[in-house]
């Protein structure tokens, strides 16, 4: 197969096409959107999901200035062979709100105003160049975003243009999401009746009503800002969960296979690579009516770009740029100052891998931002995704290993804050290396014991077996040498923790761990031997755990794994009383 150029980090459609980069054709959705009859659309996807490239494609397709280039840009793609009536027929007005500072409300307001002036100024330069110098002078005396928009729309009206305006807005909510997490009251002010964000969108609504603006396409991450504008901007149709548009962003399995073959993967090693890419980057489902789960395109292109260089896996499967964007997950948990209330949701996701909730129809901060709203926000931002419908609710799960790692990193931060320590002091890496290479679990157990001994009395009072497992899993997630499976279901049995080797590294062992936890008081109570028994309750409980672990190892799934090492770990308070490798029967 011909070697392909990977457009990692490139969101400029013209550059991708004319410089010969690989483009996964999404142009058919241009005609689909037109046929839907919706003129004003909001389409939301998680960060790094191809939103900017799609918006740039729309701009090139509809811009009257690109008419002469149209065939060279689109000729070989679906839309080039099936053009719509509206091709090259609009003046394109584009806004990108991704780079606005949010250090303070004033900084955000000034940044928004500057951004709007830049975009409007560029529009005037492109389409009314003779008026550009005067506009620059006039802008110096305009200090409200709605006044900037009124200035533009008045100018367009005076020109009696035959072409109308098509507005595209990329990352419409980027700065607003920062405000929500930073100070909710500030966000509420800017989208309120007299707020500067609301006034901007109200001016767009007026221009649509006047016939100056014919179409609007908005991308972002969550619908919170749009929902908060209520009647001020109620002309947009939110189509993010529409099944027809499900694959408009993101890659399918077939598309990822084509990319990997194009960067040097062979038919022999492709299945192994795809298995890893599925675990790390796949899993996204945005509509309950769809079945094809999508890969995060940025993550795939990162991997492909790195793999193409030396035909080897990158040193880290998690792209540092994705990590930077998604590491803000903690801010979502802090919205409204309710982080502690939401830790239980985080624990449920970590332990069970899923949560059942009804998706919020419309966000509103006029009422309390409740658990349903919070879970819905996690869905839109890609921190969870649809697993399957359940009655009138939805079962959401963690989409892939990238997101799972970020959850555990966040959980680890909380844990370290509680015990007043840091990762370096506890030397996670050394303990993990000794475990996976030498089958020596004791150093890892010792670290967990240190953490538990430092937890406050209040935390210890609420402590249970799932919390013990969470600490172990959090530490283990710091390595990419294996996959961590919590509550793996096999024949209606659920294992506590299965540590599965990946095919990236030559690791001699895999591990199956069963956990037991008892408070000091409960342990003391269990020491009494009941008349009808020959063992006390503690001994009975531990033997039952051994038998359960042996039962797991006898399942066909584990019988095939000759290198499996089963361990039983039982804590009493912060003391590991049982650390025992179990021999399979």
pLDDT at residue 164, as a whole number: 97
| DSSP assignment string, 324-346 | HHHTTHHHHHTGGG-HHHHHHHH
Three-state SS for 355? strand
CA–CA gap between residue 258 and residue 277 (Å, rounded):
13
Sheet with 575-581: strands ordered across? 482-490, 493-501, 510-518, 564-572, 575-581
- 152-169: per-residue pLDDT in tens? 999 999 998 899 999 999
Which residues of the chain carry a pLDDT beneath 70?
1-2, 325-327, 422-426, 458, 460-461, 584-585
pTM to 2 decimal places: 0.90
Burial 122-157 (b: 16+ CB within 10 A, else e): ebbeebbeeebeebeeebeebeebbbbbebbbebbe
pLDDT the model gives residue 461: 63
Work out the number of other CB atoms within 10 angstroms of the CB of residue 443.
16
DSSP 8-state assignment for residue 63: B
Structure tokens given for 180:
């929500």
Sheet with 393-397, edge to edge strand ranges: 354-357, 393-397, 385-390
Q: Which two tokens stand for residue 188?
A: 């509420």
Would you say 199 and 150 are in contact if contact means Cβ atoms under 8 Å apart?
no
Q: Which of 479, 481, 426 minimizes the C-alpha distance to 448?
A: 426
The DSSP output letter for 295 is B
Task: Report the Cα–Cα distance between both ends of the chain, in Å, rounded.
Answer: 50
- Pairing between β-strand 482-490 and β-strand 575-581 as defined by DSSP bridges: unpaired
pLDDT at 125: 97
Contact between residue 42 and residue 218 where contact means Cβ atoms under 8 Å apart: yes
E strands, 353-480, in order:
354-357, 385-390, 393-397
Q: Cα–Cα–Cα angle for 438, 441, 447, nearest 5°?
A: 130
pLDDT at 585: 58
6-16 pLDDT per residue, tens: 999 999 999 99
List the domain boundaries for the chain.
Answer: 25-246, 327-397, 420-581
pLDDT of residue 163: 94
CB 23 within 8 A of CB 76: no
pLDDT at 425: 57
- Distance between alpha carbon 335 and the CA centroid of its chain, in Å? 17
The CATH number fitting domain 25-246, selected from 3.40.50, 3.40.390, 1.10.10, 1.20.5: 3.40.50
Q: How far apart are CA 468 and CA 516, in angstroms?
A: 8
Calculate the alpha carbon distances from 224 to 362, 373, 385, 395, 435 in Å: 8, 10, 18, 21, 45
Give the residues across from 497 on adjacent strands.
486, 513
Instruction: State the pLDDT at residue 424.
Output: 61
Beta strands in 106-248 (DSSP E): 164-170, 213-220, 237-238
Nearest to 277 by CA among 288, 291, 265, 289: 265
């Amino acid at each position: 197969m011909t070697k392909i150029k990977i457009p990692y980090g490139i969101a400029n459609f013209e550059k991708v096409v004319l410089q010969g980069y690989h483009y996964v054709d999404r142009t058919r959705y241009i005609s689909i959107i037109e046929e839907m009859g919706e003129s004003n659309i909001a389409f939301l996807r998680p960060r790094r999901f191809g939103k900017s490239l799609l918006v740039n494609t729309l701009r090139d397709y509809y811009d009257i200035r690109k008419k002469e280039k149209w065939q060279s840009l689109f000729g070989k793609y679906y839309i080039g062979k099936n053009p719509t009536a509206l091709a090259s027929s609009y003046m394109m007005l584009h806004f990108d709100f991704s780079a606005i500072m949010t250090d303070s409300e004033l900084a955000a307001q000034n940044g928004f105003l500057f951004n709007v002036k830049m975009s409007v100024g560029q529009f005037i330069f492109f389409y009314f160049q003779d008026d550009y110098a005067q506009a620059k002078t006039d802008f110096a005396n305009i200090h409200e975003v709605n006044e900037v928009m009124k200035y533009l729309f008045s100018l367009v009206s005076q020109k009696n243009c035959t072409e109308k305006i098509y507005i595209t807005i990329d990352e419409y909510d980027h700065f607003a999401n920062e405000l929500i997490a930073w100070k909710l009251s500030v966000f509420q002010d800017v989208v309120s009746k007299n707020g500067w964000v609301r006034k901007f969108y109200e001016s767009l609504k007026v221009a649509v009503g006047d016939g100056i603006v014919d179409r609007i396409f908005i991308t972002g991450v969550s619908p919170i800002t749009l929902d908060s504008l209520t009647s001020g901007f109620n002309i947009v149709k939110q189509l993010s969960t529409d099944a027809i548009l499900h694959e408009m962003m993101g890659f399918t399995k077939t598309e990822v296979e084509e990319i990997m073959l194009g960067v040097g993967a062979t038919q022999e090693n492709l299945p192994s690579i795809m298995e890893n890419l599925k675990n790390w980057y796949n899993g996204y489902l945005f509509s309950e009516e769809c079945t094809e789960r999508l890969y995060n395109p940025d993550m795939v292109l990162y991997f492909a770009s790195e793999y193409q260089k030396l035909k080897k896996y990158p040193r880290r499967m998690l792209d540092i740029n994705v990590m930077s964007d998604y590491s803000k997950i903690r801010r979502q948990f802090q919205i409204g100052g309710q982080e502690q209330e939401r830790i239980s949701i985080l624990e449920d996701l970590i332990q069970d891998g899923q949560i059942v909730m009804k998706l919020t129809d419309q966000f509103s901060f006029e009422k309390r931002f409740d658990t349903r709203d919070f879970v819905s926000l996690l869905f839109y931002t890609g921190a969870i995704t649809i697993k399957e419908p359940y009655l009138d609710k939805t079962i959401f799960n963690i989409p892939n290993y990238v997101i799972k790692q970020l959850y555990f990193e966040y959980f680890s931060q909380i844990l370290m804050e509680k015990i007043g320590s840091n990762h370096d002091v506890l030397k996670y890496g050394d303990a993990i290396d000794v475990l996976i290479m030498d089958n020596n679990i004791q150093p890892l157990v010792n670290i967990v014991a240190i953490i538990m001994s430092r937890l406050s009395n209040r935390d210890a009072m609420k402590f249970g077996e799932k919390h013990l497992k969470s600490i172990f899993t959090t530490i283990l997630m710091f390595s990419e040498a294996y996959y961590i499976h919590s509550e793996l279901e096999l024949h209606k049995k659920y294992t506590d923790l299965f540590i599965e080797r990946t095919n990236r590294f030559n690791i001699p062992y895999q591990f199956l761990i069963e956990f037991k936890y008892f408070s000091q008081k409960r342990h003391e109570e269990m020491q009494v031997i009941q008349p009808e028994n020959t063992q006390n309750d503690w001994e009975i409980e531990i033997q039952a755990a051994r038998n359960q672990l042996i039962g797991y190892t006898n399942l066909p799934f584990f019988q095939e794994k000759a290198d499996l090492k089963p361990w039983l770990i039982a804590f009493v308070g912060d003391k590991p009383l049982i650390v025992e490798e179990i021999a399979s029967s």
